[in-house]
């Protein structure tokens, strides 16, 4: 066992996390991890100090077999790697079962095998008798224990079986325990069990056996996290789950929610406390590897998890953080977000300015009034934090805009069936006026190039800015082609991203507003950084 895990084991209220993102999580529709993806995620989980990482089913496909081979030559530093499989087949000796042999060949210190704990599944899915199922469990565990493995037995459909035939479900657990299993994990495979039923069942098992118990909950009733917590309170010491709750159907218990809940609220220890601050980054990185968008409303780690919009809420949080925040967001690597909209109060503007280190000197009401006037015209600032920041900077004493966009024109022409766009812009930079034109593949592309052509001689640093996203929203669609258009532009430079908004009945004008604002904000930040650096130098 890794040293860090042994040290954790000394904690009187330690809960052993078992991550199955690489197998159960990969069963979510739309997820397909490559071998390199699996190795990256395993390294992230190892760094978090998850005690058990299930790598996959070595007997099922070549990719999982290669995954285990790679980790034999480059083993995990902190976590224990688990190979997953099932009990021997009906009528086959454990020594001759190909699945069990593959588990040994994986070379992991821990093996997890799944066996049926429901009479219904034994008789109608496996199509065997209940005694043979017990023999399959007993033989498989003994075989793996005889080869020096730590064995985790997953009692599949345990809670369904407990409701259907309690005596047989408990007999399955007792058989696994007496065969030498190190853990017996009770599975809510269909995700239908209620928390009070989990509590009653786990307590019944705990009175019957001394083997350590775990919980494996699915989220079909949106109760996987609640059921996992109920199991721990009833005596379970292991929680199986996945990062972000990925898994088949509605997913598995979400370890990203469970870790801070157990550690910050329930008095249990799961991972080293300093690793908690990496939880938000871990969640988002795994989302990127899975090619899924992070859930902005995800508990603890979502970008909206600590976002405050209502003026009443912001005013309260400004005085007492705990009034509308259940934890300090920095504990899990997240941050507070103050949303500015027509529902905001002066506190929203004040807190936003403070976070930007911009002194408004009493101009909060003026900024708020401008926000509300613009939203009445069709602007929306919830997803355009860059425009809000720019409004705040513009209202601060001594701010000077780096340029002024005075006009624009876009023409589209057909040259032998090939459409091209040309944009002309008129800009004021200091005392100099610029008229520039540029051709692009489309109107917005041409406008972007024309703006850059005018600005780059004065601000070459703008070459680092790129357009990351462009979205159009029609506000009053009943006006047909005369409708008001809202345009969002997301720009990026290095690892930094910001969004700006433009709004007009003319889509070109709206696009020009959003593009120009994205450039101005970048330059305003650059100038602010230079001033801060100069002040530090003087100090």
Mean pLDDT of 103-126: 96
Q: From CA 300, how far away is CA 260, in angstroms rounded? A: 8
The pLDDT of residue 372: 86
Whole-number pLDDT of residue 3: 42
Which DSSP symbol is given to 396?
A: S
The pLDDT mean for the chain works out to 91
Give the strand pairing for 150-156 and 110-116: parallel
Residue pair 499/385 in contact (Cβ under 8 Å)? The answer is yes
CA distances from 327 to 258, 324, 338 (A): 14, 9, 16
Distance, CA of 157 to CA of 154 (rounded, Å): 9
Q: What's the whole-model pTM score?
A: 0.77
Res 112 pLDDT > 70: yes
Cβ count within 10 A of residue 454: 24
Query: Taking the CA of residue 310 as centre, how many other CA atoms within 13 Å lie in the half-sphere pointing to its CB?
Result: 5
pLDDT band at 260 (very low <50, low <70, confident <90, very high): very high
Pick from 89-93, 225-229, 369-373: least confident = 369-373
Q: Which residue has the tokens 């990062």?
A: 243
Q: What is the DSSP string of 70-90?
A: HHHHS--SSSEEEEEEEPPPT
* Whole-number pLDDT of residue 9: 44
Please give the pLDDT value at position 530: 60
Residue whose structure tokens are 């601000």? 459
Task: Give the separation between CA 273 and CA 7, rounded to whole angstroms.
Answer: 13
Structure tokens at 88: 């021997």
Tokens of 486: 């809202």
Contact 314/338 with Cβ under 8 angstroms?
yes
Three-state DSSP class for residue 217: strand
- Say yes or no to pLDDT of 417 above 80: no
User: Which of 40-54, 134-148, 359-373 is predicted least confidently?
Assistant: 359-373
Residue 393: CA count within 13 A, CB half-sphere = 21
Mean pLDDT for 115-122 is 96
Closest CA relative to residue 229, chosen from 257, 208, 249: 257
More confident residue, 385 or 46: 46
Determine the average pLDDT of the residues in 147-171: 97
Average pLDDT over residues 445-473: 94
The CATH number of 14-271, from 3.60.20.40, 3.90.1150.10, 3.20.20.70, 3.40.50.300, is: 3.20.20.70
Confidence grade of residue 531 (pLDDT, cut at 50, 70, 90): low
Which pLDDT tens digit goes with each residue over 182-217? 999 999 999 999 999 999 999 999 999 999 999 999
- Our CA angle for 218, 219, 221, nearest 5°, is 125
492 vs 356, more confident: 492
pLDDT at 414: 80
Higher pLDDT, 476 or 21: 21
SS3 425: strand
Chain segment 1-55, per-residue pLDDT in tens: 444 443 444 444 999 999 999 999 999 999 999 999 999 999 999 999 999 999 9
Which pairs from 5-11 meet CB under 8 Å and 24+ separation?
5/49, 5/51, 5/78, 5/79, 5/80, 8/49, 8/51, 8/269, 8/272, 11/269
Provide the Cα torsion 300, 305, 306, 312; round to 10°: -140
pLDDT score for 135: 98
Angle between helices 385-395 and 507-538 (to 10 degrees): 60
| CATH 3.20.20.70-classified regions of the chain | 14-271
pLDDT tens across 319-335, in order? 777 888 899 999 999 98
Residue with tokens 């008095």: 267
For 276, residues 6+ apart whose C-beta sits below 8 A from its C-beta are 259, 260, 263, 264, 331, 332, 333
Largest interatomic CA distance in the chain = 92
Euclidean distance between CA atoms 300 and 256, whole angstroms:
8
Lowest mean pLDDT among 147-161, 300-314, 326-340, 404-418: 300-314
Range with lowest mean pLDDT among 8-12, 84-88, 137-141 = 8-12
pLDDT at res. 123: 94
Q: What is the arithmetic mean of pLDDT over 500-522?
A: 95
């Amino acid at each position: 066992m890794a040293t860090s895990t042994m040290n954790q084991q000394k904690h009187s209220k330690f809960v052993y996390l078992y991550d199955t993102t690489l197998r159960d999580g990969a069963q979510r529709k739309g997820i397909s991890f490559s071998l390199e993806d699996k190795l990256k995620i395993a390294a992230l989980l190892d760094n978090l100090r998850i005690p058990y990482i299930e790598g996959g089913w070595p007997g099922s496909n070549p990719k999982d077999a290669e995954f285990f081979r790679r980790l034999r030559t480059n083993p995990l530093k902190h976590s224990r790697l688990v190979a997953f499989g099932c009990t021997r087949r009906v009528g086959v000796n454990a020594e001759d079962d190909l699945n069990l042999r593959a588990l040994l060949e994986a070379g992991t210190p821990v093996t997890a095998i799944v066996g049926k704990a429901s009479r219904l599944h034994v008789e109608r899915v496996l199509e065997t008798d209940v005694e043979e199922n017990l023999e399959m469990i007993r033989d498989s565990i003994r075989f793996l224990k005889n080869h020096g493995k730590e064995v985790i037995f997953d009692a599949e459909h345990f809670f369904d079986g407990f409701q259907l035939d309690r005596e047989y479900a408990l007999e399955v657990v007792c058989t696994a325990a007496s065969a030498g299993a190190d853990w017996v994990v009770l599975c809510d495979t269909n995700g239908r069990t209620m928390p009070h039923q989990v509590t009653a069942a786990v307590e019944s098992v705990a009175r019957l056996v001394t083997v350590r118990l775990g919980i494996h909950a699915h989220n079909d009733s949106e109760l996987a996290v609640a059921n996992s917590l109920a199991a721990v309170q009833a005596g379970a010491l292991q929680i199986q789950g996945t990062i972000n709750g990925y898994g088949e159907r509605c997913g598995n218990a979400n370890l990203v929610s469970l870790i801070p809940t157990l550690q910050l609220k329930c008095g249990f220890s799961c991972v080293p406390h300093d690793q908690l601050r990496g939880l938000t980054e871990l969640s988002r990185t795994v989302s990127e590897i899975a090619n899924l968008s992070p859930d902005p409303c995800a508990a603890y780690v979502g970008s909206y998890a600590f976002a405050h919009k209502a003026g009443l809420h912001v005013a309260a949080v400004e005085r007492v953080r705990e009034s509308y925040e259940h934890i300090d967001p920095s504990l899990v690597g997240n941050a507070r977000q103050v949303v500015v909209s027509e529902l905001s109060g002066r506190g929203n503007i004040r807190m936003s300015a403070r976070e930007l280190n911009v002194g408004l000197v009493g101009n909060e009401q003026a900024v708020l009034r401008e926000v509300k006037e613009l939203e009445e015209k069709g602007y929306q600032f919830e997803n355009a934090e860059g425009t809000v920041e720019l409004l705040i900077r513009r209202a601060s004493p001594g701010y000077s805009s780096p340029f002024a966009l005075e006009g624009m024109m876009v023409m589209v022409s057909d040259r032998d069936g090939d459409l091209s766009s040309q944009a002309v812009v008129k800009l004021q930079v200091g005392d100099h006026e610029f008229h520039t034109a540029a051709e692009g593949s489309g109107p917005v592309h041409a406008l972007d190039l024309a703006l850059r052509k005018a600005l780059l001689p004065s601000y070459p640093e703008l070459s680092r800015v790129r357009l990351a996203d462009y979205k159009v929203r029609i506000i009053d669609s009943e006006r047909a082609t005369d409708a008001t258009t809202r345009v969002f532009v997301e720009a990026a430079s290095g690892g930094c991203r910001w969004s700006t908004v433009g709004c007009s009945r003319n889509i070109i004008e709206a696009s020009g507003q959003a593009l120009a604002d994205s450039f101005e904000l970048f330059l305003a930040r650059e100038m602010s950084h230079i001033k801060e650096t100069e002040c530090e130098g003087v100090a």
